[in-house]
Amino acid sequence: MATTRPGVFAGGDVVTGPSSVVDAIAAGKAAAEAIDSYLEGRPLVRTRQLTRPSLYVPPVELKEDELQQAKRVKMPHLPPSKRKSLHEEIELGFTKEMAVREARRCLRCELETEDGKKATGRET
């Protein structure tokens, strides 16, 4: 996460371009570790360790009608006519309602696997 300028670190969208929240969180954690090592005078070498959650979080329960209607939320974008002359974000972000709906859908993606369909009795 270190840049060519000593003491300056980068991660997330500025390095990889737009990506997922999971990737952003991982980049933030990696940058924090690199900054800590830099400030402590340790080498900027990242070691990876497998960690397991310390707490079980039960999956979000959706009603059957929510499962049937759970479609990916589309990201609102700045219209092309405004992109030509402005230096604004193109992806405008989700409203709170959109984010909650997408999180509820996304956190249940295992239901679309064959094993998930068997476990929920929704086999085709």
Q: What is the pLDDT of residue 40?
A: 92
> Has residue 78 been placed in a domain?
yes
> Has residue 28 been placed in a domain?
yes
Q: Do 35 and 80 share a structural domain?
A: no
Q: Do 30 and 5 share a structural domain?
A: yes
> Has residue 93 been placed in a domain?
yes
The total domain count for the chain is 2
Contact between residue 27 and residue 15 where contact means Cβ atoms under 8 Å apart: yes
37: left (phi over 0), alpha (psi -120 to 50) or beta: alpha
> Has residue 47 been placed in a domain?
yes
Tens-level pLDDT at each residue, the chain (124 residues): 888 888 898 888 888 888 888 888 888 888 898 899 999 999 888 777 777 767 666 666 767 777 666 677 888 888 888 877 777 788 888 999 888 878 777 666 655 556 555 655 555 5
Q: Which domain holds residue 16?
A: 1-51
Q: Do 112 and 80 share a structural domain?
A: yes
